[in-house]
Amino acid sequence: MDDVARRTPSGWKTSGHAIYLLGSTADEFGGSAWTEVAHGHLGGLPPRVDLERERQLGEILVTASRDGLVEAAHDLSEGGLAVALAEASLRNGVGARVWLDDVCERDGVDAFTLLFSESTGRAIVAVPPSEEDRFNALCAASGFANARIGVVDDEAGALDVRGQFIVPLSELRTAHTSTLPAVFAAR
C-alpha cells in the first residue's frame, strides 16, 4: 500500500450505502469459531482454499478502493458473515439492515450456513449508491459472485438480519469479538 491514509476502513459509516457480499458460501464449519463456541470443539477439515478466487477477490478490493467504489470492506474469516456484519457495524456505531434469501437460494445454503460458514474468498463491502453500477460491472468483468444483501442504516441502532435476528449495537458492544458467535447462538 503506497499510502496508509488511503486505506479502506473495515466499518461503514454512511447511511444508505449498499452492502454487498463478495464470493460464494459453502457448508464449511470444521475448525470454525462457531463450532468452538457452540460445541466446545475445534477440529475437522478447514474451509477449502481456492487461490485463484482469493486473487480475484484481492484484485476487486484493490481496484474498488483505488477507484472510490467502496467506503468500507471487511473479510469473512473468523465467525463468518454474522461476525463481519457485527464488526463492520460496531466500528463506527452504525447499524445495518440485511436480507439473505437471494444469496441462500443462489448458493444452495440455509441462512445459518450463510451467516456462520467460514468459506474463504469472501468479503463484505459498503458501496455508495452512485457507484453501484460501476462496482457491479467490476465484479462481472471478473466473473466474481456478488450480491447486494443490505443497506447501511444509521437510524436502526442495530444489526437487523431480516427474518433471523435483530441485535442492538449496544448489546453487540458489550460482547467481546471472540464471543460474538455466542451472542448470535442465543438468538
Tens of pLDDT, residue by residue over 93-119, are: 999 999 999 999 999 999 999 998 889
Counted residue by residue, the chain has a size of 187
The residue-averaged pLDDT of 154-158 equals 89
Q: Tell me the average pLDDT of the chain.
A: 86
Task: Name which of 4-18, 78-92, 154-168 the model is least confident about.
Answer: 4-18
Q: When comparing pLDDT for 88 and 9, which is higher?
A: 88
**Cβ pair 167, 183 in contact under 8 A:** yes
Sheet holding 123-127, edge to edge: 72-75, 123-127, 18-22, 146-153, 95-98, 158-161, 165-168
Residue 60: pLDDT band with limits 50, 70, 90: very high
Backbone angles phi, psi at 73, to 5 degrees: -150, 140
Residue 29 confidence (pLDDT) above 90: no
What average pLDDT does the segment 113-127 reach?
Answer: 93
| pLDDT for 31 beyond 70 | no
CB 148: neighbour CB atoms within 10 A?
16
pTM: predicted TM-score of the whole model, two decimal places: 0.86
Residue 125 has pLDDT above 60, yes or no: yes
pLDDT value for 72: 96
Q: What pLDDT shows up at residue 84?
A: 95
pLDDT confidence of 23, banded at 50, 70, 90? very high
- What is the structure's pLDDT at 3? 67
pLDDT at residue 178, rounded to an integer = 44
Closest by CA to 47, choosing from 147, 131, 120, is 120
The SS3 assignment for 101 reads helix
